[in-house]
């Protein structure tokens, strides 16, 4: 395999899952999401695409660095890659829970678990490739912010969850 195919594959993977998972978001943004009581500090909707593009690219490249330096899935990188896979799954689960199921509560549970999985990924990546760990710090910052936003939406829109329970 060419020297470019492996890093390109690692970079593309988060985009593929993110695109598939966010499909449920696009049809619900202008209707359901915009109808929620929003905090003044939420970002404009047009920020999300560029931010996630940068984050997905950096997390994909970070995973490649760890995979390469840690001996692949069967080497020292095995635990790190398991954490990485877990956080990817939690990341991809959030849009369908939030936008698809309209569950502010369960999306908050997901994002808290995601935050923990990202921390575990950073910790494990650091032992194999420090640069890879540092590449995930903006992602952790964004998910921290998104978690605070999810929490605020959940607290400010209790009738949404009352209708679901």
| Annotated domain spans of the chain | 5-23+45-164
What pLDDT does residue 22 have? 82
What pLDDT does residue 164 have? 54
Mean pLDDT of 33-60: 94
**Could you tell me what percent of the chain has a pLDDT over 90?**
75
How far apart CA 90 and CA 111 sit, in angstroms, is 7
Task: State pTM to two decimals.
Answer: 0.91
pLDDT interval class at 24 (50, 70, 90): low
Q: Which residues contact residue 151 at a Cβ distance below 8 angstroms, ignoring those fewer than 6 apart?
A: 108
pLDDT interval class at 72 (50, 70, 90): confident
* Polymer length in residues for the chain: 165
Reference 87, options 71, 110, 67, 107; nearest CA is 110
Q: Which residues contact residue 50 at a Cβ distance below 8 angstroms, ignoring those fewer than 6 apart?
A: none
Question: So what CATH class is 5-23+45-164?
Answer: mainly alpha
Give the residue, 29 or 5, on which the prediction is more confident: 5
**Could you tell me what percent of the chain has a pLDDT over 70?**
93
């Amino acid at each position: 395999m060419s020297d470019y195919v492996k890093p390109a594959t690692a970079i593309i993977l988060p985009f593929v899952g993110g695109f598939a998972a966010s499909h449920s978001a696009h049809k619900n943004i202008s209707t359901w999401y915009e109808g929620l009581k929003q905090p003044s500090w939420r970002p404009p909707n047009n920020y999300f695409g560029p931010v996630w593009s940068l984050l997905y690219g950096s997390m994909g490249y970070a995973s490649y660095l760890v995979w390469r330096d840690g001996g692949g899935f069967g080497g020292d990188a095995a635990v790190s890659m398991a954490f990485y896979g877990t956080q990817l799954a939690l990341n991809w689960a959030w849009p369908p829970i939030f936008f698809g199921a309209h569950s502010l509560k369960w999306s908050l549970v997901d994002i808290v678990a995601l935050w923990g999985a990202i921390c575990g990924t950073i910790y494990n990546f650091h032992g194999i490739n420090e640069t890879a760990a540092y590449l995930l710090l903006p992602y952790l910052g964004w998910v921290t912010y998104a978690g605070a936003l999810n929490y605020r939406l959940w607290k400010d829109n209790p009738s949404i969850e009352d209708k679901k329970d």
